[in-house]
Amino acid sequence: MTHGRRLAGAVVALVAVLVVGTLGYALLGLDLFDALYQTVTTVSTVGFREVEPFGRAEELFTMVLILLGVGAALYAFSVLVETLLEGRLNELLGRRRMEQSIAAMGGHVIICGWGRVGRAIGVELAEAGRPLVVIDPDEAALHGAVHAIAGDATDDDVLRRAGIERAASLVAAADSDAANSFITLSARALNPRLFIVARTRSSDSDDKLTRAGADRVVNPQSIGGARMAAFVLRPHVAAFLDVVMHERTLEFRLEEVPVKATSSLVGRTLRDTGIRDRTGALVLALRDERGNFLTNPAPDTAIVAGHVVIAIGTQDELDALVALVDV
């Protein structure tokens, strides 16, 4: 039986004692109000005098009523205390289990700010299978987040609790540019290798966030406007890119594959690698370490360490490409 049902049962028992006591005293000759008054004073063991002098029958009934009333009251009190203590204990144990789970995580993404933007980011990352830790100062707003910490993301201790040293990426998605700047500064100081994406509301803050350590600065309003304009200007292209990037049921998808120095493809041309024939994936572009894109690369383009191969294909084709590049 749940605590709620047990507590409800205890309340019903108390009410039943009051009803039985009131009816019993009424049958013994008291008027209804005096009977209720006598029942309440008896059950509560306050010790006020009797409304009228009691005979043997009234005394026997009063003794029985005291035993029943005290028993029901003690049971209700014990259920209430147990409910409160167990609820608090479950909360503490749940928090402890979550902290242990976060402590075991590595390569995860930390989202700072669980508003509309933060939640939208979380949905996309969760669907992609990325482990997440969410930080927000409003504990009530964290409902639905699996790994969540209620606290100030500008606080180094809070970031450490989120596993900042082991994280792969951090998204600063707080509501203000100032907060995102402080979050970025703190995160960069704690983990120089961290990939940081910062949200901004104003283009004036782009440079500040970049200097603070953000790898990418994103203005959701600007991106949303550009995306809507793209649907007006090039609706078919925009629809295709939208489906490829966001539709999980589509057979084809885009992927990026970094080329490490140990890859067997380093120093070879695209023609020599035979990527298309061996994997089925189509290479759309290469990106070098300086961030420059080489779109629709020629077959004689050499692959060097630090390149990122951007390709399109089915999941099996892209998995084969990853395996080929990693060899």
Whether residue 113 sits in one domain with residue 88: no
Tally the domains of the chain. 3
From 194, 218, 242, the end of a domain falls on: 218
Nearest to 3 by CA among 89, 73, 80, 75: 80
235 in a domain, yes or no?
Answer: no
What is the tens place of the pLDDT at every residue in 266-323?
999 999 999 999 999 999 999 998 889 999 999 999 999 999 999 999 889 999 999 9
Axis-axis angle for helices 56-103, 3-27 (nearest 10): 170
Which pLDDT does position 40 carry in this prediction? 80
Report d(CA 137, CA 318) in Å as an integer: 40
Whether residue 209 sits in one domain with residue 189: yes
- CB atoms inside a 10 Å sphere around CB 213: 21
Whether residue 80 sits in one domain with residue 32: yes
Whether residue 122 sits in one domain with residue 195: yes
Neighbouring residues of 182: CB distance < 8 A, sequence distance ≥ 6 = 154
79 in a domain, yes or no?
Answer: yes
Whether residue 117 sits in one domain with residue 64: no
Higher pLDDT, 302 or 144: 302
71 in a domain, yes or no?
Answer: yes
Neighbouring residues of 13: CB distance < 8 A, sequence distance ≥ 6 = 72, 75, 76
Whether residue 120 sits in one domain with residue 79: no
What is the band of 219 on the pLDDT scale with cuts at 50, 70, 90? Answer: very high
8 in a domain, yes or no?
Answer: yes
pLDDT of 164 higher than 80: yes
Tally the C-alpha atoms within 13 A of residue 269's C-alpha that lie toward its C-beta. 7
Question: Where residue 300 sits, what CATH number does that domain have?
Answer: 3.30.70.1450
pLDDT of 94 higher than 70: no
Instruction: Tell me which H or E stretch contains 280.
Output: none
Whether residue 94 sits in one domain with residue 36: yes
226 in a domain, yes or no?
Answer: no
Structural domain that includes position 31:
3-101
What is the band of 4 on the pLDDT scale with cuts at 50, 70, 90? Answer: low
- CB atoms inside a 10 Å sphere around CB 193: 8
What is the band of 77 on the pLDDT scale with cuts at 50, 70, 90? Answer: confident
Whether residue 134 sits in one domain with residue 72: no
Report d(CA 306, CA 121) in Å as an integer: 27
Which pLDDT does position 211 carry in this prediction? 93
pLDDT of 48 higher than 70: no
Q: Counting beta carbons within 10 angstroms of the beta carbon of residue 74, is it exposed (0 to 12), middle (13 to 18) or buried (19 or more)?
A: exposed
* Cβ density class 265-294: b for 16+ within 10 Å, e for less: bbeeebeebebbeebebebeebbeeeeeee
Whether residue 137 sits in one domain with residue 81: no
Whether residue 119 sits in one domain with residue 58: no
Instruction: Please report the beta strands in 163-261, taking only residues with DSSP state E, as ranges in sequence order.
Output: 169-172, 195-199, 216-218, 252-258
What is the band of 63 on the pLDDT scale with cuts at 50, 70, 90? Answer: confident
Report d(CA 102, CA 199) in Å as an integer: 24
Which pLDDT does position 287 carry in this prediction? 93
Whether residue 207 sits in one domain with residue 114: yes
Mean pLDDT in the chain?
86
Which pLDDT does position 189 carry in this prediction? 95
